[in-house]
Amino acid sequence: MKRTLVLLMVLAALLPLSLFAKGQGEKAAEGASLTLWHRWSGANAQYLQEVVDAFKAKNQTVKVEVVAKPGEYIELLQSMIADMAAGNKPPDMFVGGYNMLEYIATELKPNPLDQMAPSKQAYDELASRFEPAVWNITNLGGKQIGAPFALSNICMYINMDIFKAAGLSEADFPKTWDDMFAIGKVIKQKTGKYVTAIQLPDNWADCSLVYSAGGTLKSADGKYVDFTNAGIAEALTMWQRLYNEKLIPVCTDTELQADFSAGNIATYCTTIMKIGGLKSQSKFDLRTTQFPSFGTKPRKLAAGGAAIVSFSKTKANKDGVWRFMDYALSKDGMDIFTKTGYLCVTKADVAVSEFQKPCIAQKPYAFTWPSWPGGSAGLEIDRLYLNTRTKIIMENLPAGPALKKLTDDCNALLK
């Protein structure tokens, strides 16, 4: 009897403490005023806003200002760096590309996620929503610097009308790059259309091409770049040949997408994230299929997308950010955000469209989108790489000497 009484007294003492802790967590986020920066536009920006609005409906004491900086991930990062240089505080939530995380971690010092969580239990529960390989995308040097939010891989969009006009069927969808050249000749001869387009604005498509060809962009220890291996030469030479044989139009990335949407290109290799825009822009029978391989070499496809990284300084804002991430990465949040075409980043059971199915099938080929080494030097390396790559594929610059010089120039920045 005495033991029972003691136990009841202990429980009675602990219960108010637990309730108080919960109440304190909720009160701590009251008055939080958050800024969220992202790079999306159009339907993708609208779906993100839906997530924000649904969160605010459940958390009416937390304010969220969404700042859209349409463009690529590196342009978003450059905007934030310039804003900070002007004396402004960094955003509470920055939805940064996975390939930018090394720079963000080393140069900008985001809040480690375990220090944002209200408890170890809450942190562990959030982590349990992810497959370990996905969760670890945002783990650098043993620190979880953010939470994965958007996930994509590269697929091939198909204009079925062009295939049918060329006498081709679904069985002729190119499975390898050799197949692409073979059907390219048929399509060009019978329809006068271009056979393909590969996205250009950053090195994301490059990574999937290079690593699928057995190559790499970095040294084995990750401290330097390596553009002299056989795989990168094979990948860029193949891409160069597509231009030389006039199977891809020579134009900007924006023009490539417009040409595909207008019905002038048979296939388009880019992110599944663009499905919303392509569906609305295209007036033909649109399909998706898997990204081509280099013969029997295993495909390795860079995981695209972005993480939520926080730079909040106050306790209230840190708690507000945690509550937003908790909602955005819930099933309800993912149900909304995956309408963009992005794959579900968590293990939640969300609806999958026919267009997304090839990308789901490709998930076993995913690897982390490589970051350039060197912190701030990585931004210059990215510029040098893209300039040289574009000259190789579009201006027929000999790949071997150009890649050797590029390796030397970039590694000089890292010494």
Residues 242, 248, 249, 251, CA torsion sign: negative
Judged against a pLDDT cut of 60, whether residue 102 lies above it is answered with yes
- State the pLDDT at residue 9: 38
Judged against a pLDDT cut of 80, whether residue 273 lies above it is answered with yes
Instruction: Note whether residue 369 is domain-resident.
Output: no
- State the pLDDT at residue 19: 34
> With contact defined as beta carbons under 8 Å apart, do 43 and 75 qualify?
no
- State the pLDDT at residue 30: 72
- State the pLDDT at residue 141: 85
Better-predicted residue by pLDDT, 20 or 67: 67
- Residue 268's nearest CA partner among 148, 130, 160, 364 is 160
Instruction: Note whether residue 325 is domain-resident.
Output: yes
Instruction: Note whether residue 260 is domain-resident.
Output: no
Instruction: Note whether residue 80 is domain-resident.
Output: yes
Q: What percent of the chain has pLDDT over 70?
A: 93
- Residue 288's nearest CA partner among 299, 273, 302 is 273
Which two tokens mark 81? 């760096």
- State the pLDDT at residue 69: 96
Radius of gyration for the chain, computed over Cα atoms and rounded to the nearest angstrom: 24
Instruction: Note whether residue 35 is domain-resident.
Output: yes
Which residue type does 221 have? D
Task: Please state the rounded mean pLDDT for residues 118-134.
Answer: 96
pLDDT tier, 21 (very low <50, low <70, confident <90, very high otherwise): very low
Judged against a pLDDT cut of 90, whether residue 6 lies above it is answered with no
Q: Is 267 exposed, middle or buried (0-12, 13-18, 19+ CB in 10 A)?
A: buried
- Residue 157's nearest CA partner among 208, 197, 192 is 197
> With contact defined as beta carbons under 8 Å apart, do 388 and 403 qualify?
yes
Q: What is the dihedral of CA 16, 18, 19, 22, to 10 degrees?
A: 150
Instruction: Note whether residue 146 is domain-resident.
Output: yes
Which CATH number covers residue 113?
3.40.190.10
- Residue 137's nearest CA partner among 113, 109, 108 is 113
| Total structural domains within the chain | 1
Q: Say if pTM beats, i.e. exceeds, 0.75.
A: yes
Instruction: Note whether residue 256 is domain-resident.
Output: no
Which two tokens mark 368? 């982390």
Averaged pLDDT of the chain? 92
Question: pLDDT tens digits, residue range 205-243?
Answer: 999 999 999 999 999 999 999 999 999 999 999 999 999
Q: In terms of DSSP bridges, do strands 286-290 and 139-140 run parallel, antiparallel, or are they unpaired? A: unpaired
Which two tokens mark 132? 């370990």
Which residue type does 49 have? Q
Task: Please state the rounded mean pLDDT for residues 312-332.
Answer: 97
The region that residue 109 occupies, defined by phi over 0 for left and psi between -120 and 50 for alpha, beta otherwise, is left
Residue 160 CB neighbours (<10 A): 16
Q: How far is CA 1 from the centre of its chain?
A: 61
d(CA 133, CA 136): 5
Residue 182 CB neighbours (<10 A): 14
d(CA 29, CA 209): 45
Instruction: Note whether residue 216 is domain-resident.
Output: no
Strand order from edge to edge, sheet including 267-271 = 267-271, 154-159, 286-290
Residues spanned by the domain of 341: 31-152+303-355
Question: pLDDT tens digits, residue range 382-415?
Answer: 999 999 999 999 999 999 999 999 999 999 999 8
